[in-house]
Amino acid sequence: MSIEDILQALDDECRAECQDIFRRAEQEAKQIIVKAQAEAEEIRQARLAKIRTEAESETTAMLYSARLKSKNEVIQAKEKVVEKALAEAVRRMENLRSRGDYREILSGLIGEGLFRVSGKVVLHVDPADGKLAAEIMKEKGLACEIHTDIRTLGGAVVADADERVKIINTVEERLNRAREKLRMQVSAILFGEEVEAAAGGG
């Protein structure tokens, strides 16, 4: 074998070996790229999932906050209207004495107090009701002390002789006692809500 043949054989062998090295390097490079792409996609999906979870959580929080704010605004609006209606009811009560049936109203309020107090009675009324209260007690055939020492839109405070028991039956006190019931009734009229439901079915 000549020198040229030997050199050609070495050259061919070197070329084949280089091609094999390049082929293996290319395969390894492809594997590295595929692995890197898979890892990158995994990282991307993880980040997307995290962002999606955070976005959903934020959306849920915003939605809850918006609903709560809306509910509070509705409640406040209702309260405002109800309070206005109740204030109007109180304003109308200021002219209670000018009504033709006020005598019966005062008599009824005094009578409710008398029913719960025994023995000698002391009556506390507004100065505007002093004379009328005396007439009502005379009609009832009951002797009592009458003191015109309170200020009220109407009604009376009925007490026993020692004033240990006092039945406050003024218009203001009756309004205060009936306030929640009035609130539910007004709310039902204005907003179509069931009074029974608002009262818990009672």
Residue 160 belongs to what domain range? 96-179
pLDDT at residue 122 is higher than 60: yes
One domain for residues 45 and 113? no
Return the pLDDT at 197: 46
One domain for residues 37 and 103? no
Cα(126)–Cα(170) distance, integer angstroms: 10
Q: Which residues pair with 170 in a beta bridge?
A: 155
Confidence of residue 159 (pLDDT cuts 50, 70, 90): very high
One domain for residues 106 and 38? no
Confidence of residue 1 (pLDDT cuts 50, 70, 90): low
Three-state SS string across 54-75, please? HHHHHHHHHHHHHHHHHHHHHH
Mean residue pLDDT across the chain = 81
Return the pLDDT at 195: 46
Q: What is the mean pLDDT of residues 87-104?
A: 84
Return the pLDDT at 198: 44
The one-character DSSP state at 119 is S
One domain for residues 51 and 110? no
Confidence of residue 2 (pLDDT cuts 50, 70, 90): low
Cα(186)–Cα(85) distance, integer angstroms: 7
CATH at 154: 3.30.2320.30
Domain count, the chain: 2
More confident residue, 10 or 49: 49
Query: Is residue 119 included in any domain, yes or no?
Result: yes
Cα(114)–Cα(111) distance, integer angstroms: 5
CA 148 to each of CA 87, 129, 130, 156, 157: distance values in angstroms, whole numbers, following the listed order: 26, 8, 6, 10, 10
